[in-house]
Amino acid sequence: MLPVTLMFFPLIIPLLYCAIWKKESFERVLVLSLIAFSMVVAYQVVIYLEDKLSYYGYFLGKLIVFTAIPLIAISYFEKWSIRDALTRFGIRKEGMGKSIILGIGALVITLLLGLIALWGQNAHVSLSWNAIMFLDAFNEEFLFRGVLILYLWKITDIKVAYATSIVSYMIVHPQHYASLFMLSTIAQGILLAIIAHKTKNIIGPWISHGLNRVLLQIIRAILF
């Protein structure tokens, strides 16, 4: 629960920004903060499903908490259709090619950093686990890049969106705080935020994030 609870605090950044400089967006950021709080509370669903269904339950729980809750809640508040909301959150054909190409470039960097940080450490490769982890990367991209970059950018400022997204992404990985792997996490948070911003598309970040998880395990299993 701790990492998800920590995710709530960086939303102080847009709240303060709107309270001082962009008061017309304060209500929307406040609603986003309340949605984030509801996600923290709902994370018990992830814990319960993971306990019952292992990593399949973990993926399903995060699909509910990280994707469905913000998608439905923001769509309702903004009076968007789900289809329109998905486009606004970066799930669209426009910019997809550029997004994927840039995502592969980011993958090379984060993969190298990850291998350096975990050099000499073995890994167990499971086809089903890797497939689920690849799919689960979408849930995190939807939240950290779709909501906290593309949506927050539109209602506040791109610098505010970058700060909120990157800090949130960093602090939800406390398992890496004392490890060199944190450098890969930080690089991934920054690079994928830039890609989402420049292309307005999160497909490339999802593929980059998902392949980083999978290939890092496979390469370590082969080498060590």
Report pLDDT digits (tens) over 142-195.
999 999 999 999 999 999 999 999 999 999 888 788 899 999 999 999 999 999
Could you give the percent of the chain with pLDDT greater than 90?
87
pLDDT band at 122 (very low <50, low <70, confident <90, very high): confident
Q: Which three-class secondary structure state does DSSP give residue 72? A: helix
pLDDT band at 3 (very low <50, low <70, confident <90, very high): low
Cα separations (Å) of 86 from 17, 21, 72, 105, 142?
Answer: 26, 28, 10, 25, 9
138: enclosing H helix or E strand: helix 127-141
Number of domains in the chain: 1
Considering the entire predicted model, what is its pTM?
0.96
Average pLDDT of the segment spanning 72-97:
98
What pLDDT does 1 receive?
61
Average pLDDT of the segment spanning 76-104:
98
- How many angstroms separate the CA atoms of 218 and 52, rounded? 27
Look-up of token digits 């073995």? 122
Summary mean pLDDT of the chain = 95
8 Å CB contact between 73 and 143: no
Which residue segment(s) compose the domain that 125 sits in?
A: 2-223
The pLDDT tens digits of the residues spanning 123-153 come to 877 889 999 999 999 999 999 999 999 999 9
